[in-house]
Amino acid sequence: MANAKNQKGASWSPTSAAAQAAPEGDGGERIAKVLARVGVCSRRDGEKLVAEGRVKVNGEIVNTPARKVSPSDLITVDGAAVAKPEATRLWRYHKPPGLVTTHKDPEGRPTVFANLPSGMGRVVSVGRLDFNSEGLLLLTNDGSLSRRLELPSTQWTRRYRVRLFGNVTQADLDRLAKGVTIDGVSFGPVQAQLERSKGSYAWAMISLREGKNREIKRLMEWLGFRVARLIRVSYGPFQLGQLEPGAVEEVPGKVLREQLGLGKPVAKSAPKTKTE
Residue 17 and residue 153 share a domain: no
Q: Does one domain contain both 222 and 181?
A: yes
Predicted TM-score of the model (pTM): 0.72
Please tell me whether residues 158 and 42 are part of one structural domain: no
Question: Which residues face 203 on adjacent strands?
Answer: 163, 196
User: According to the model, what pLDDT value does residue 35 have?
Assistant: 84
Compute the average pLDDT of residues 61-90.
85
Residues 113 and 238 in one domain: yes
Pick the catalytic residue from 73, 78, 105, 130. 130
In a domain, 262, yes or no: no
Round to whole Å and give the CA distance between 138 and 146.
Answer: 9
Residue predicted with more confidence, 264 or 114? 114
d(CA 128, CA 206) in angstroms, rounded, equals 17
Q: What is the largest CA-CA distance in the chain?
A: 69
What's the rounded Cα separation, in Å, for the pair 61 and 265? 34
- The predicted pLDDT at position 71 comes to 65
Structural domain of 9: 4-81
CA 46 to the chain's CA centroid: 18
Length of the chain: 276
Number of domains composing the chain = 2
If asked whether residues 39 and 149 sit together in one domain, one would say no
User: Contact, 59 vs 69, CB < 8 A?
Assistant: no
- Confidence grade of residue 21 (pLDDT, cut at 50, 70, 90): very low
Residue 32 lies in a domain: yes
**Residue 98: what pLDDT?**
96
Quickly list H helices, 30-116.
31-37, 43-51
Which tops the pLDDT comparison, 262 or 59? 59
257 found inside a domain: no
Q: Are residues 96 and 233 in the same domain?
A: yes
5 has pLDDT over 90: no
Which of 257, 237, 97 lies closest to 159 in space, CA to CA?
237
Q: Are residues 36 and 108 in the same domain?
A: no
Is 130 annotated in the active site? yes
Mean pLDDT throughout 223-244? 96
Identify whether 271 is part of a domain. Answer: no
pLDDT band at 6 (very low <50, low <70, confident <90, very high): very low
| CATH number, position 20 | 3.10.290.10
Same domain, 64 and 101: no
169 and 189 in a single domain? The answer is yes
Residue 5 CA to residue 242 CA, distance in Å, equals 40
Residue 227 DSSP SS3:
strand
pLDDT at 227: 97
Mean pLDDT to the nearest integer, 226-251: 96
Q: Average pLDDT, stretch 180-199?
A: 94
Q: Which residues pair with 92 in a beta bridge?
A: 138, 249
For residues 103 and 231, state if they share a domain.
yes
Which residues are 100's β-sheet partners? 111
One domain for residues 238 and 104: yes
- pLDDT grade, residue 148 (50/70/90)? confident
Residues 116 and 166 in one domain: yes
